[in-house]
């Protein structure tokens, strides 16, 4: 049995590679036999959008702000502080916000 402790504020915000989107993350895992779990924060700045095609399942919790999620043009979700999302592998989402939004995520991405 083990606990991995990630202290508050650990890590610096880095550019996610998309305009107006920053990322703060931590990677952890039990052993090489498992795909490491990743967790951290996405910070979306006002008036920006990003398209993302999920190659893995991901959990998100909206820490602050609001965001619109357009899922393949089929359904639009307006999410706000306190909302949780479970995004399945193979889902395509366009994220956009008119104000800053911070989301906490946990995934088991292989990269």
5-54 residue pLDDT tens: 555 566 666 666 777 777 666 555 444 556 667 888 888 888 888 899 99
Q: How far apart are CA 15 and CA 43, in angstroms?
A: 10
DSSP secondary structure code for residue 1 in this structure: -
Q: What is the pTM of this model?
A: 0.74
Q: How far apart are CA 95 and CA 92, in angstroms?
A: 10
Q: Which CATH architecture has domain 14-107?
A: Sandwich (2.60)
């Amino acid at each position: 049995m083990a606990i991995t402790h990630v202290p508050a504020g650990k890590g610096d915000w880095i550019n996610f590679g998309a305009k107006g989107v920053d990322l703060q993350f931590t990677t952890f895992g039990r052993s090489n036999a498992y795909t490491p779990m990743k967790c951290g924060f996405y910070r979306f700045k006002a008036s920006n959008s990003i398209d993302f095609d999920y190659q893995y399942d991901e959990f998100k919790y909206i820490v602050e702000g609001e965001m619109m999620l357009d899922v393949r043009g089929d359904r639009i979700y307006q999410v706000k502080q306190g909302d949780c999302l479970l995004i399945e592998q193979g889902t395509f989402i366009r994220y956009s916000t008119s104000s800053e939004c911070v989301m906490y995520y946990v995934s088991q991405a292989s990269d």
